[in-house]
Amino acid sequence: MFHDHDDIMQEGALKKLYDEFTPEEFEQNTMAVEAKVQDWYSPELSEEEKAKTPIKQKPYWGLFTGAILIKKEVFDKIGYFNESVHAGEIIEWQSKMNSNGFKIKKIDYVSTKRRVHSTNFGKTHQNTEFKNYAAILRAKLKKV
């Protein structure tokens, strides 16, 4: 599991995710357990900044740090994150995970509260993020 320094993991979340790996899940090739994330505004944001930065009001699934527990053997099989990708590395990595037939079990549980603030990476590096997403998509389409 990875966890961003500015997000809040719910008490007991790691154990909850770990406990979802039942013997049946092992037999079904489940290699990760994914919980939900709930966005929240950082207290220093002004009302004007909040208006410019809409957040999802309901919890949602996403490959976010603090919301997914992944077995080490997945990394052994498909490798680590692509260091040349500065945004979207988890998307590219999940694509490799999916193409290897690894299953992700989604649970209806909020494990992490994601802090939305004025210096979120996606906000400060939007151009880089879009370029990386486009490169990931191009690479994936070449394989199809």
Residues 109-135: tens digit of each pLDDT? 999 998 886 655 455 445 555 565 556
pLDDT digits (tens, 9 = 90+) for 2-37: 877 788 899 999 999 999 988 777 677 788 899 999
CB 4 within 8 A of CB 77: no
The two structure tokens encoding residue 40: 């929240």
Per the listing, tokens 């400060």 go with 124
Model's pTM, two decimal places?
A: 0.73
* Tokens of residue 119, six digits: 């210096």
Place of tokens 């802090």: 115
User: 100 vs 30, 50, 80, 92, 93, CA distance in Å?
Assistant: 12, 40, 14, 13, 11
In the predicted structure, residue 93 carries a pLDDT above the cut 80? no
Collapsing DSSP states into helix, strand and coil, what is residue 33?
strand
